[in-house]
Amino acid sequence: MDLKAKEIECLAEMLAECEYLLIGLGDEWEKAGQDEVRKAYESLYNLVGQKDYFIVTTATDARIFDAPFDEKRITAPCGNINWFQCQKACTKDIWERDEIQDGRCPHCGAVLISNTIQAESYIEEGYLPQWKVYQEWLAKTLNRKLLIFELGVGFRTPTVIRWPFEKLVFFNRSAHMYRVNRKFYQIAGEIKERAVPVEGDSLEFVCNLREKIENQGLMC
């Protein structure tokens, strides 16, 4: 569904009044074209404004790091293609792109591969420091006004965003969530009073929301 004018006004009010803003980005953001995703990240950044926010992304394409978000407010638990690990997982070391010139593990000589969940032996140490920061940030949101945008998240890794976000809304009576997805927009009955399902492309939703809010003069 597309949000009507009154619903846009309600969402803009929530965005203005929330103390914390949590954003989850899923498969749709990884599959989108370059121009489309660039515009969507720009729109999302403008919606975030000066809010106390955190972004959890399962996209491994690393394009979010090209957007102007504060990297200290992003966690990518599925890894990203700008980080590299030993193909044989002989070490927990993680390297950034071009850090090792010959592209081979300095410990065993194996080829370096992208540090993502697609690796046969995924080294989780790459994302764990930021995951800890996220958990500490999340603890501050308990019983506070928390607005959640779950955008394009399917069931590839539901334990990372989808199910934990539902749990947050269930236990925090001051939390509200918008779940936007082409196919998997459905909301659990236990949280339906504080969660809004939106059927549609999550990138288009963000771009249209920003435009509508600005046109109606509702930006906080």
Q: What is the pLDDT of residues 119-164, one digit of tens each?
A: 999 999 999 999 999 999 999 999 999 999 999 999 999 999 999 9
Q: Using an 8 Å Cβ cutoff, are 188 and 150 in contact?
A: no
d(CA 159, CA 86): 26
Pair 58, 193: CB distance under 8 Å: no
CA atoms within 13 A on the CB side of 110: 13
Both tokens assigned to 191: 């949280």
pLDDT of 212: 86
- Residue 51 above 80 pLDDT? yes
Residue spans of the domains in the chain: they are 9-78+127-215, 82-123
pLDDT in tens, 157-173: 999 999 999 999 999 99
pLDDT (tens digit, 9 = 90+) per residue, 24-34?
Answer: 999 999 999 99
pLDDT for position 220:
44
Cα–Cα dist 26/179, whole Å: 11
What is the second-level CATH architecture of the domain 9-78+127-215?
3-Layer(aba) Sandwich (3.40)
The first and second tokens of residue 137, run together, are 């940030």
pLDDT in tens, 77-96: 999 999 999 999 999 999 99
User: Is there a contact between 80 and 72 (Cβ–Cβ < 8 Å)?
Assistant: no
Residue 121 near residue 91, CB atoms below 8 Å: no
Given a cut of 60, whether residue 217 has pLDDT beyond it is yes
Asked if pLDDT for residue 5 goes beyond 80, the answer is no
